[in-house]
Amino acid sequence: MIDNRSRAIAITGGGSGIGLHLARHFASLKWNVAICGRDAKKLEIAAECIESEFQVRCLWKVADVSKEIQMQEFAKIVEQEFQKIDLVVCNAAVIGPIGELIDIPMDDLQDALAINVVGQLATLKSFWGAMSAALSPRAIVVSGGGLGADGQLNNALGYVPSKAAVATIVELLAPEFEKIGGAIMSVSPSGIIPTNFLKNVRNVGKEIAGELLFEQAIKQQSGSLDQLLTGFKSLIEFLTTEDGKAFNGRLLSAKWNPVPELLVEAKDRLGISKYRLRRIDGQLFGPIS
């Protein structure tokens, strides 16, 4: 049994990419780690490397976030080992079918939305008991760019709408996290992160994916993942602090919201619409009169 004074983090999609880098980062801070995903070999190797390199406990289990029973089983073994979870990172996501609505299979679209939206809720629900046992728990739901303006990814109908949904879900769950003395935020890593996430986009080509999305998929093949995630990891670290709790229910970006600026804002009263998705020119929708 792990000493319950040790801090612990659970990460979905933790066998590779962003999830693995977060796992390694918090392990370097001497947090115990739990990761899940759908590739047993990647998870096993990741856990062995983390335990060997950082001398912390790293649990792993094959689990699909869209399957509530599997997430409950994962949460159960984590709670038995760690007793409580201080931070849950909902990282697992898929790009989903690429193309125009008329050309994409509805089954593929439903599968993507099940992972990207329902999967986040299933994860949070499964870990509610373990988070409630922590002194001041946090949940981070990894968001994404391209929710509007010139960066809109028009050919990713399973991805972009799900990220908008995630931001709203975080707002809705904020009062529930207040009840257990915690906070939940959605955070975008920002930038073009070099992972295999957009592999499907490269496979279908520019004609189906569209020029903007295809160009991002090509750019994603280069760069240092660890270096590009520096601001993202620092932001999540900050959000686990008492000052970070001020951003409960908010949508933040590692690109546009540097920690020093957020620290200043945390000392002041945040505007009701600040860092929220449901706003137009700084004003939230009001009640219908």
Domains, the chain, with CATH or none: 8-267 (3.40.50.720)
The tens digit of pLDDT for each residue in 11-57 reads 999 999 899 999 999 999 999 999 999 999 999 999 999 999 999 99
Band of pLDDT at residue 60, cut at 50, 70 and 90: very high
Contacts of 208 (CB under 8 A, 6+ apart): 98, 99, 103, 155
Q: Where do the H-state alpha helices sit in 58-195?
A: 68-82, 106-113, 119-126, 128-132, 160-179
User: What confidence score (pLDDT) does residue 215 get?
Assistant: 62
CA distances from 259 to 15, 29, 74, 86, 118 (A): 27, 18, 32, 20, 30
pLDDT for 225 beyond 90: no
Higher pLDDT among residues 97 and 129, named by residue: 129
Check whether 194 has a pLDDT greater than 50: no
Predicted pLDDT of residue 289: 45
Strands 138-142 and 183-188, bridge-based pairing: parallel
The mean pLDDT of 262-268, rounded to a whole number, is 91
pLDDT of res. 182: 98
**d(Cα 73, Cα 204) in Å, to the nearest integer?**
36
pLDDT of residue 126 exceeding 70, the answer is yes
pLDDT at 276: 84
Q: List residues bridging with 142 in a β-sheet.
A: 187
The pTM (predicted TM-score) of the whole model is 0.87
Mean pLDDT of the chain: 86
Task: Specify the higher pLDDT residue, 270 or 8.
Answer: 8
Please, what sign has the CA dihedral across residues 190, 96, 70, 67?
positive
* pLDDT tops 70 at residue 196: no
pLDDT of residue 99: 86
Beta strands in the chain (DSSP E): 8-12, 32-37, 58-62, 87-90, 138-142, 183-188, 251-253, 279-280, 283-284
Confidence check: pLDDT of 239 > 80? yes
pLDDT at position 1: 43
d(CA 78, CA 75): 5
Band (pLDDT 50/70/90 cuts) for residue 208 is low
The listed range with the strongest mean pLDDT (102-106, 141-145, 206-210) is 102-106
Predicted confidence band at 278 (pLDDT cuts at 50, 70, 90)?
low
% of the chain with per-residue pLDDT over 90: 62
